[in-house]
């Protein structure tokens, strides 16, 4: 599988000379990645009409004419040519192909036959195939990117970023829906969330979620595995494998089609056979797979999992300068089945000490949530955080730091992070707002390794993910 993500040479079969066509855009993305230094391998193109170079890439009339068997063939030719192209790949000794082209089983009739032919050829030559009818793979660290959607798109005559790719990172995403996968990458880019591997497997004539999972389990770049699925075909293998993986690496799944309306929609979308959602739920739980209900939660949890250690218990401390957000976070703690940490006597007396010293105001609440009030300062936050992390009744801390109060500075995130690093307990942050300050403040937290959220409930849901992973890992 590694050759799909880190190939030394790639050939685009069905490359075109016409901008806008899939066969041109796919090649262009790879050429740009090569020029930018992201893709360090060799690039070839195949176009049956002419062997004039396209975009400066050496071009051949047939796969058979290539100077070497490329590590990976990306096939974007019309469906009807794909079986014979794959046959040529086999003859040439190519071992991996991604078939982007649509027009197979998903259109019925002739397409079903073409897909069977594709499968037969793949098996005969032992070629591993991703697709057909898929977006393929995107790997920011190796520059391999088979997503034909151009980064920019015209809006009222101005080119705007339309399908940007995320920066390299440690989250991998497997998506049964190509379109939703593309949308997720757009979201990740805008939210500054890094990507390890993205795979859209389409009609999965060969490679499916189990194969990809097997690879991601050992991929050193991948620290959390996210899955969007409407059905899981090899259920038993998937769960057995997941059970092994989740002891070390978290898997988070967004399984859609959880209601009868959703299942009905899924059956016409990916021909997914629904199966009872309760059975899925129980199976995921048994396999240690963390289940989320929407995209926002998928990435909120993933971000926390790659930035913070898993929790060793479910007792949450809340530290805030805004009483209201403290109340909302407390509501969410209980709603999610987590516990509000009950501070030790020592903690309470240390917090009282901060009051006596004038570090925190007399009206501050020192029970959980700790509310430093609008008079909060960097010093009050940092001193209080250390006291909370020292308490053995505290397993995780949510820092709800509304930046609006006058006493907080932009140095707060790094000050808090340097304390958090001394303890093996997860810490997440929250600041409400869409102002430039709010956005930059949350970014600063993430730069120093503390995931930051724009709503108290989302911060607590992230902690829930860390608690679930902790349960699987440490068995509490």
Binding to its own copies (CB under 8 A): which residues in 377-396? none
Decide: is 40 part of the binding site for its own copies (CB under 8 A): no
From 33-41, 64-72, 80-88, 152-160, give the range in contact with its own copies by CB under 8 A: 152-160
Binding to its own copies (CB under 8 A): which residues in 84-123? 106-108
Decide: is 236 part of the binding site for its own copies (CB under 8 A): no
From 33-41, 67-75, 150-158, 379-387, give the range in contact with its own copies by CB under 8 A: 150-158
Q: How far is the CB of 376 from its own copies (least distance, A)?
A: 10
Binding to its own copies (CB under 8 A): which residues in 242-271? 256-262, 264-266, 268-270
Q: Count the residues of the shown chain that bind its own copies, applying the rule CB under 8 A.
A: 91
Decide: is 78 part of the binding site for its own copies (CB under 8 A): no
Decide: is 161 part of the binding site for its own copies (CB under 8 A): yes
Q: Which of 120, 438, 448, 449 binds its own copies (CB under 8 A)?
A: 438
From 82-90, 173-181, 382-390, 465-473, give the range in contact with its own copies by CB under 8 A: 173-181
- Quick one: tokens of 143? 């520059």
Decide: is 432 part of the binding site for its own copies (CB under 8 A): yes
Q: Which of 235, 275, 309, 433 binds its own copies (CB under 8 A)?
A: 433
Between CA 307 and CA 453 the distance in angstroms is 13
Q: Which of 169, 178, 313, 465 binds its own copies (CB under 8 A)?
A: 178
Specify the residue, 89 or 450, whose C-beta has the smaller distance to its own copies: 450
Binding to its own copies (CB under 8 A): which residues in 317-376? 318, 321-328, 330-331, 333-335, 340, 362-363, 365, 367-369, 371, 374
Specify the residue, 71 or 321, whose C-beta has the smaller distance to its own copies: 321
- Which residues, other chains included, contact 268 with Cβ-Cβ below 8 Å and sequence gap of 6+? none
Decide: is 168 part of the binding site for its own copies (CB under 8 A): no
Specify the residue, 218 or 363, whose C-beta has the smaller distance to its own copies: 363
Q: Which of 179, 218, 273, 282 binds its own copies (CB under 8 A)?
A: 179
Q: How far is the CB of 238 from its own copies (least distance, A)?
A: 19
Three-state SS letters, the chain:
CHHHHCCCEEEEECCCCCCCCHHHHHHHHHHHHHHCCCCCCEEEEECCCCCCCECCECEECCHHHCCCCCCEEEECCCHHHHHHHHHHHHHHCCCEEEECCCCCHHHCCHHHHHHHHHHHHHHHHCCEEECCCCCEEEECCCCEECCCCCCEEEECCEEEECCCCCCEEEEEEEECCHHHHHHHHHHHHHHCCCEEEEEECCCCCCCCHHHHHHHHHHCCCCCEEEEEECCCCCHHHHHHHHHHHCCCCCEEEEECCCCHHHHHHHHHHCCCCCCCHHHHHHHHHHCCCEEECCHHHHHHHHHHHHHCCCCCCCEEEEEECCHHHHHHHHHHHHHCCCEECCCCHHHHHHHHHHHHHCCCCCCCECCCCEECCCCCCHHHHHHHHHHHHHCCCCCEEEEECCCCCCCCCCCHHHHHHHHHCCCCCCEEEECCCCCHHHHHHHHHHHHCCCCEECCHHHHHHHHHHHHHHHHHHHCC
Decide: is 143 part of the binding site for its own copies (CB under 8 A): no
Decide: is 301 part of the binding site for its own copies (CB under 8 A): no
Decide: is 293 part of the binding site for its own copies (CB under 8 A): yes
Decide: is 7 part of the binding site for its own copies (CB under 8 A): no
Decide: is 230 part of the binding site for its own copies (CB under 8 A): yes
Q: How far is the CB of 453 from its own copies (least distance, A)?
A: 11
Specify the residue, 92 or 258, whose C-beta has the smaller distance to its own copies: 258
Binding to its own copies (CB under 8 A): which residues in 393-412? 402-406, 409-410
Decide: is 81 part of the binding site for its own copies (CB under 8 A): no
Nearest to 292, CA basis, from 302, 282, 283? 302
């Amino acid at each position: 599988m590694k050759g799909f993500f880190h190939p030394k040479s790639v050939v685009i079969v069905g490359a075109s000379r016409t901008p806008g066509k899939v066969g041109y855009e796919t090649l262009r993305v790879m050429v740009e990645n090569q020029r930018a230094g992201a893709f360090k391998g060799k690039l070839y193109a195949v176009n049956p009409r002419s062997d004039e170079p396209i975009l400066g890439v050496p071009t051949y009339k047939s796969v058979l004419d290539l100077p070497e068997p490329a590590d990976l063939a990306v096939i974007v030719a019309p469906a009807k040519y794909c079986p014979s192209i794959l046959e040529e790949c086999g003859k040439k000794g190519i071992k991996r192909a991604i078939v982007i082209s649509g027009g197979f089983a998903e259109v019925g009739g002739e397409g079903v036959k073409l897909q069977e032919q594709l499968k037969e050829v793949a098996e005969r030559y032992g070629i591993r195939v991703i697709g057909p009818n898929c977006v393929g793979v995107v790997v920011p660290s190796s520059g391999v990117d088979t997503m034909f959607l151009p980064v920019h798109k015209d809006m009222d005559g101005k080119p705007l970023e339309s399908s940007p790719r995320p920066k390299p990172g440690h989250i991998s995403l497997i998506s049964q829906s190509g379109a939703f996968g593309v949308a997720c990458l757009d979201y990740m880019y805008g939210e500054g969330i890094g990507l390890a591997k993205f795979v859209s497997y389409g009609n999965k004539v060969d490679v499916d979620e189990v194969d990809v999972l097997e690879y991601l389990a050992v991929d050193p770049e991948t620290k959390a595995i996210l899955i969007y699925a409407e059905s899981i075909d090899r259920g038993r293998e998937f769960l057995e494998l997941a059970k092994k993986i989740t002891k070390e690496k978290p898997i988070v799944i967004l399984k859609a089609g959880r209601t009868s309306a959703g299942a009905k929609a899924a059956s016409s979308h990916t021909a997914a056979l629904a199966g009872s959602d309760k059975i899925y739920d129980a199976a995921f739980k048994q396999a240690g797979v963390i289940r989320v209900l929407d995209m926002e939660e998928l990435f909120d949890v993933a971000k926390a999992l790659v930035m913070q250690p898993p929790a060793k218990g479910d007792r949450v401390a809340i530290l805030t300068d805004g009483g209201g957000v403290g109340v909302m976070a407390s509501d969410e703690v209980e709603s999610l089945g987590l516990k509000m940490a009950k501070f030790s006597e020592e903690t309470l007396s240390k917090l009282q000490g901060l009051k006596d010293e004038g570090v925190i105001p007399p009206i501050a609440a020192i029970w959980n949530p700790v509310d430093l009030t609008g008079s909060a300062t960097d010093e009050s936050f940092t001193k209080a955080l250390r006291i909370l992390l020292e308490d053995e009744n505290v397993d995780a801390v949510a820092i709800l730091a509304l930046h609006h109060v006058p006493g907080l500075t932009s140095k707060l995130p790094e000050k808090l992070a340097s304390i958090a690093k001394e303890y093996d307990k997860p810490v997440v942050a929250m600041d409400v707002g869409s102002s430039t300050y709010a956005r930059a403040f949350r970014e600063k937290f993430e730069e120093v390794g503390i995931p930051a959220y724009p709503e108290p409930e989302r911060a607590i849901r992230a902690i829930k993910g860390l608690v679930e992973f902790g349960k699987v890992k440490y068995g509490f």
